Amino acid sequence: MDLVTTMYGWEFLLRYVHFLAGITWIGVLYYFNFIQTPFFGTELGGQAKGLMTRGLVPNALWWFRWGAMFTFLSGWLIVGIKMGAGIGLADPYMTRILTGGVMGTIMWFNVWFIIWPAQRDYAIKSAEQVAAGGEPVPGTPEKGALAGRASRTNTLFSIPMLFFMGSASHLQNHLTGANDMIYWIIALALMAAVELNAVIGTGARQKYLATVSGTIHTGLGLTLVLFIVGRLVNTL
């Protein structure tokens, strides 16, 4: 009964929902980027792309976007509970968890306001029109490229996001609360640079998003940079 009669129980249930939704979201994200997109680039995948875009992709996107939504909502509700229990924004726990939380929020934004609209209004609609004997929706290649960059950027962000989410309770000697303002200025600037480059940058600067390998290595690099920044600001 403690699960429904105590705030501790409700926090646990929210965390459980957060895990389930997050696994669903990131699992589909990795499927899109590690499996489906490379397959579409093959000869067989090119032949099957239209059919899959009309049949499989809409269902996958349903789980994708609602997994993102429930992860986003449950995560911020957990943060609210922590703050209600007296854990302030200056607390080292909050610095660590919110580093992941901010990246998760950027990823949620990309899903709902870049990836899903581009797929719904261009890729899926275009595939349906072509299958019915019509013409592709104008602008589909450009919107598809934008959605692809946003999806790869989410894959990139997922790597440091998961590191810092895990560090909140399990790496307590990192980001100890010293010089948080300096840390946040640098961390937010790096996150903004990655996001803006994906959305409005030029092709040369977006080269790291062109391959799965480049995306993963850049994600690992961002994780390392943020970790080192946290270590350095703690020593100032």
**How large is the angle between the packed helices 7-30 and 43-84, nearest 10 degrees?**
160
Distance, CA of 53 to CA of 123 (rounded, Å): 7
Round to whole Å and give the CA distance between 10 and 22.
18
Give the separation between CA 168 and CA 94, rounded to whole angstroms.
Answer: 7
DSSP assignment string, 141-201: HHHHHHHHHHHHHHHHHHHHHHHHHHHHHH-TTSS-STTHHHHHHHHHHHHHHHHHHHHH-
Q: What is the mean pLDDT of residues 53-73?
A: 97
Q: Mean per-residue pLDDT for 146-164?
A: 97
Neighbours of 26 (CB within 10 A): 21
Average pLDDT, the chain: 94
Query: pLDDT band at 1, cuts 50/70/90?
Result: low
pLDDT at 92 (0 to 100):
87
Which amino acid is residue 208, in one-letter code? Y
Give tens-digit pLDDT for 2-26. Answer: 887 888 888 999 999 999 999 999 9
The arithmetic mean of pLDDT across residues 196-214, rounded, is 93
Mind listing the pLDDT tens digit for each residue in 86-142?
998 888 899 999 999 999 999 999 999 999 999 999 999 999 999 999 999 999 999
Band (pLDDT 50/70/90 cuts) for residue 178 is low
pLDDT at residue 98, rounded to an integer? 95
In this prediction, residue 172 has a pLDDT band, given cuts at 50, 70 and 90, of confident
How confident is the model over 213-224, as a mean pLDDT? Answer: 98
pLDDT at 34: 97
According to the model, what pLDDT value does residue 157 have?
Answer: 98
195: pLDDT confidence band, cut at 50, 70 and 90? very high
| CA proximity to 28, closest of 37, 41, 16 | 37
- Helix, strand or coil for residue 236? coil
- Within 10 A of 169 (CB to CB), how many other CB atoms are there? 10
